[in-house]
Amino acid sequence: MKCNYCRQMVTRNLTMKEIFLPKKIMSEQLCSQCVVKFQLLGKKENCRGCQRQTKKAYCEDCLKWQRCYPGYDFHHEAIFSYNQAMQEWFEEYKFKGNYRLRYSFASFLQPYFKQKKNFLVIPMPISAKRMETRGFNQVEGILDAANISYQPYLVRFADGVSQVQKTRKERLTLQQPFKLTKEGSKVVENKDILLVDDIYTTGRTIFHAAQVILEKQPTKLYTFSLAR
């Protein structure tokens, strides 16, 4: 098979699961040369809120969010650091539209979400305008590739410049662009919710989405992103 990212041929022994499951053995995985480019987040010296590397209990951003949302026990998790390799991967997947790359990290996502099997997974939405130009929701793409069930209960009703093109100050002053669907407003109450995004930067976008969910009083609300 070929590496999902660099497309070089990869030779390895198939597992028993791959041999007997009625599923296409596809180029879902990364080769060993590509895997080492992506930096896994460490478990030590991280912010308790967002996993940013720090020797303090909470980073400055999370202390600010605690003041803004004093009743929200914020807990964010991610798998990878948003290093140069990850930036280049997102450029190819998200902005150049290489939809095949949605499979790249499926093997990393599956064990994580298996531990959250009792959570209702809600992906971050994109606007209708963004969907029209891009053709896919990048978060839903990586969830689909890993066979993770989710419900699209959030809607983005406001469009704007991509977060990548905004300054840090502009990201932090972004106005509320999300709302729950009619069905979502009824379902999330008293549920354990896992809100999923692709990248965590300042936290502004994910806190806006969390805010509309918190208004419906879920039992728990955790957040997750592939990278931070």
Residues 44 and 147 grouped into a single domain: yes
pLDDT value at residue 13: 60
Residues 4 and 57 grouped into a single domain: no
The arithmetic mean of pLDDT across residues 43-60, rounded, is 93
Per the model's pLDDT, the better-predicted residue between 167 and 41 turns out to be 41
Residue 55 has pLDDT above 60, yes or no: yes
pLDDT value at residue 21: 56
The per-residue pLDDT for range 61-70, each reduced to its tens digit, is 999 999 999 9
The arithmetic mean of pLDDT across residues 122-137, rounded, is 95
Residues 72 and 117 grouped into a single domain: yes
Residues 161 and 96 grouped into a single domain: yes
Residues 192 and 140 grouped into a single domain: yes
Structural domain harbouring 57: 37-227
Residues 203 and 143 grouped into a single domain: yes
Token pair 């992506």 in the structure block, residue: 38
Residues 51 and 6 grouped into a single domain: no
Residues 9 and 65 grouped into a single domain: no
Going by C-alpha positions, the residue among 154, 214, 205, 158 that lies closest to residue 179 is: 154
Domain count for the chain = 2
191 — pLDDT class (breaks 50, 70, 90): very high
Kindly report whether the global pTM for this prediction surpasses the value 0.95: no
The per-residue pLDDT for range 146-177, each reduced to its tens digit, is 999 999 999 999 865 455 555 655 655 678 89
Residues 47 and 22 grouped into a single domain: no
pLDDT value at residue 24: 47
CATH for 159? 3.40.50
d(CA 122, CA 184): 10
d(CA 100, CA 167): 30
Residues 180 and 77 grouped into a single domain: yes
Residues 13 and 77 grouped into a single domain: no
Residue 122 has pLDDT above 70, yes or no: yes
Helix 106-114 × helix 138-145 angle, to 10°: 80
The arithmetic mean of pLDDT across residues 192-207, rounded, is 96
Instruction: Annotate 135-172 with DSSP letters as a single string.
Output: -S-HHHHHHHHTT------EEE----S-GGGS-HHHHH
Residues 55 and 13 grouped into a single domain: no
Contacts of 181 (CB under 8 A, 6+ apart): 152, 153, 154, 155
